Amino acid sequence: MVNVSDPPSYSSEFRVYPEEILSKHPVKRLHQKAGSCVSSHPKAIGRMVLMLMFVGYTIYFVFAVRYNAESARALIVLTALFVFCVVYCFIRDHFGNTIYKYCIGPVERALRKNWSWLRWFVLPGILIAFIVYMSLSVIKEARQLQSLSGIVFFFFLEHITSKHPDKVRWRPVVWGFAMQFVMAIIVLRWKPGYEAIRWLSEQISTFIEYGYDGAAAIFGDPFLMLHPFVFMAMPLLVYVGAVMGILYYLGVTQAVAGKLAWLLQSTMGTTAIETLGVAGNIFLNGMDIMLMLRHYLTKLTKSEFHCFLVGNHATVAGFAFAIFVLFGAPPQHLLSAAVMSAPATIAITKLNYPETEESNTERQEDLELVDSEETNVIEAGANGATVAGSTVVAVVVNFIAFLGLLAFINATLSWAGGRVGFPELSFEVICSYLFWPLAFLIGIEVPYCREVAKLIGIKVFTSEILAYQELGQSLKGPLADSVSPRSAAIATYALCGFSGLSTLAIAVGVWNFLCPSKIKEMTSQMWRAIINANISCFFTACVAGQFNNRVTNAGNTHCFISGLMYDPSVMDEVSGPSNLANFLNWVLALIPGYKDLMGLIL
């Protein structure tokens, strides 16, 4: 028998060594010395590693540029951006206070002190310069005045239907519309800005295309052609969702959205929570923004809550960029629309639902964003793909449901119309007449107003995905002449937003799950919010219609249709001077010149 009180016997293989013996082991001593060296000189070692990385990258960069500078354009741009950020952070951290004290501060104090009388010269001067620029350089065809009439119409409509028209603060309204026009000038009229946006959209499209490899590996190439929506479009959402999860984990999304929110808040004077919510919707979907700011959702005022809602529905998120491009939305116009809609959203909400309460989050210092809960990049990418997978299910389910309902409605309308000799009656036909004035106001040419009006109706009453699919079909095959390239470009801006009834139904469920205390407020504001979100998209389309009067086709083999790109150089060469410029030249020609006066005198 074995006595349990006796200590167990171990062979020499499992002998337990005392700590002092282990500490004399050469590998153990090496670990201890390395650990003490790292803990004693962390800054020196970090600088050494950074220096080695810098030297290695510099050598690689020089060889890449010397080998082929044209193919290294993306590398040059990324390097320039990184160097700019490093230099900016260095100057900000070491000389920021000094620069503000001796350069920016005195100018700021002088402007504040004399702004009471300076504004009567500065603001009218800016307005006059803007009117002259638009008259002489931008408005070159009568059809561009359609978009101008749309801007005026939507502005007065928002003011007339305002919740508190006597409480409107005009600073965010004026600054919001002004910033939208400035962005339009940069990306649609200024050639370097246009080229930059086109290059960026091409890089994003190329990056998105890598998601096709994952879809082809799982489903195979034949499925990509037989069932492009499920087996080609939906995997892209998973791929982009994983990328967005990684960017959020690394803090890139928060940093970019925070800087854009700082710019909007500094100029427009809005609160931090609503500005960050609108700016963040350019990169993240509404649910991600709610998760990032979930600690502050219950503290929102009614006006902030309305701005938050409209921001969720008036712009497109990063993952939706992929599917909209796949269905034929020109990536350059889609990217421009996403950025231009942000200031317009704030301006419209502050005009239609002005602030009447005291905010709890006026400054960005009052906000503490929720950090990513993942422990590493792989987990962040996996969780992002998982979240995108649930989005895929929601999109597919809603797509099936609304397509079925739309087919039933069209069959019913056709049967009812057939009883009176009009079997062609359908939901699309009704929308083409119902939204015809709206299509005309945003700048669509008269022959194409019915087709674009049909797209707007599909977007509003069903889903923007269906609308973009119809837009793609209108630009290829037997329907290739139903929409002009310019009308398709303007329609891209008008359709760019999650402001359909199907999206609204999903939003109610999301708010009920993440913030149930606000569901009553959400249901009371949702109709006004969805209307304002659509008006924000239409206003952006009006601005684009003013600055677009010639659009060229550019092949895009990875989309269902060809890409549409506005080329300012083509427009300027073809269109010539504006009507007002011709009139002024004619007036100046009537004024006698120097030689004419000398001839009269002599």
Q: What are the tens digits of pLDDT across the range 212-252? A: 777 777 777 655 555 666 776 677 778 878 888 888 888 88
Output the pLDDT for position 228.
63
Question: Buried (b) or exposed (e) across 205-243, using 16+ Cβ within 10 A?
Answer: beebbebbeebbeebeeeeeeeeebbbbbbbbbbbbbbb
**Would you say residue 299 lies in a domain?**
no
- The pLDDT tens digits of the residues spanning 176-207 come to 898 888 888 888 888 888 888 888 877 777 78
- Decide which of 541 and 189 is more confident: 541
- What pLDDT score was predicted for residue 435? 92
Residue 572 falls inside a structural domain: no
Tens of pLDDT along 70-122? Answer: 888 878 888 888 888 888 888 888 888 888 888 888 888 888 888 888 888 88
Sequence-distant (6+) residues with CB within 8 A of 222 are none
Q: Determine, yes or no, domain membership for 173.
A: no
Nearest to 470 by CA among 432, 422, 508, 418: 432
Token look-up 């700590």 returns 19
- pLDDT above 80 for 594: no
Q: Is the pLDDT of residue 538 over 90?
A: yes
- Report pLDDT for 555: 41
Query: Is 375 domain-assigned?
Result: no
Give residue 40's domain range: 30-67
The two structure tokens encoding residue 351: 């005009």
Contacts of 370 by beta carbon, 8 Å cutoff, 6+ apart: 291, 292, 293, 294, 295
Round to whole Å and give the CA distance between 97 and 373. Answer: 34
Task: Write down the pLDDT at residue 573.
Answer: 37
Partners of residue 563 on adjacent β-strands: 554
Task: Give per-residue pLDDT as tens, 346-378.
Answer: 999 999 999 888 877 766 666 666 667 778 888
Q: Provide the percentage of residues in the chain whose pLDDT is more than 70.
A: 79
Identity (one letter) of the amino acid at 548? N
Q: At what angle do helices 234-250 and 318-326 cross, to 10 degrees?
A: 150
Is residue 515 domain-resident?
no
Spatial distance between the Cα atoms of 244 and 263, rounded to a whole number of angstroms: 23
Residue 563 banded pLDDT, cuts 50, 70, 90: very low
Lowest mean pLDDT, pick from 162-166, 422-426, 498-502: 498-502
Task: Report the C-alpha gap between 196 and 182 in whole angstroms.
Answer: 15
The residue that leads in pLDDT, 580 or 529, is 529
pLDDT of residue 479: 53
Distance CA 476, CA 482 (A): 9
Domain-located, residue 59: yes
Considering the chain, what is the average pLDDT of its residues? 77
376 backbone dihedrals φ, ψ, rounded to 5°: -155, 175
Model confidence at 379: pLDDT above 50: yes
Rounded-to-integer distance, Cα 549 and Cα 570, Å: 10
3-state secondary structure of 564: strand
Residue 61 belongs to some domain of the structure = yes
Whole-angstrom CA distances from 399 to 174, 321, 372, 466 are 39, 17, 31, 8
Q: Tell me the per-residue pLDDT of 260-287, one tens digit each, with 9 for 90 and over.
A: 777 777 788 888 888 888 887 777 777 7
Count of all residues that appear for the chain in the document: 602
Q: Output 381 or 538, whichever has higher pLDDT.
A: 538
Higher per-residue confidence, 157 vs 589: 157
pTM of the predicted protein model: 0.77
- pLDDT range class, residue 22, cuts 50, 70, 90: low
pLDDT at 264: 78
Q: In the chain, how many domains are there?
A: 1
pLDDT tens digits, 296-310: 788 888 898 899 889
What band does 383 get if pLDDT is binned at 50, 70 and 90?
confident
CA 207 from chain centre, in angstroms, equals 17
At 481, the pLDDT band (50, 70, 90 cuts) reads low
Among 20-34, 311-325, 562-576, 579-593, the least confident range = 562-576
The whole-number pLDDT of residue 534 equals: 92
**What span, in angstroms and rounded, lies between the C-alpha atoms of 314 and 341?**
7
How much is the pLDDT for 477? 54
Most confident of 111-115, 160-164, 289-293, 554-558: 160-164
Two tokens at 502?
Answer: 């199907």
> Residue 23: pLDDT band by 50, 70, 90 thresholds?
low
Cβ 495 vs Cβ 455: under 8 Å: yes
Note whether residue 51 is domain-resident: yes
Structure tokens at 286: 């509404």
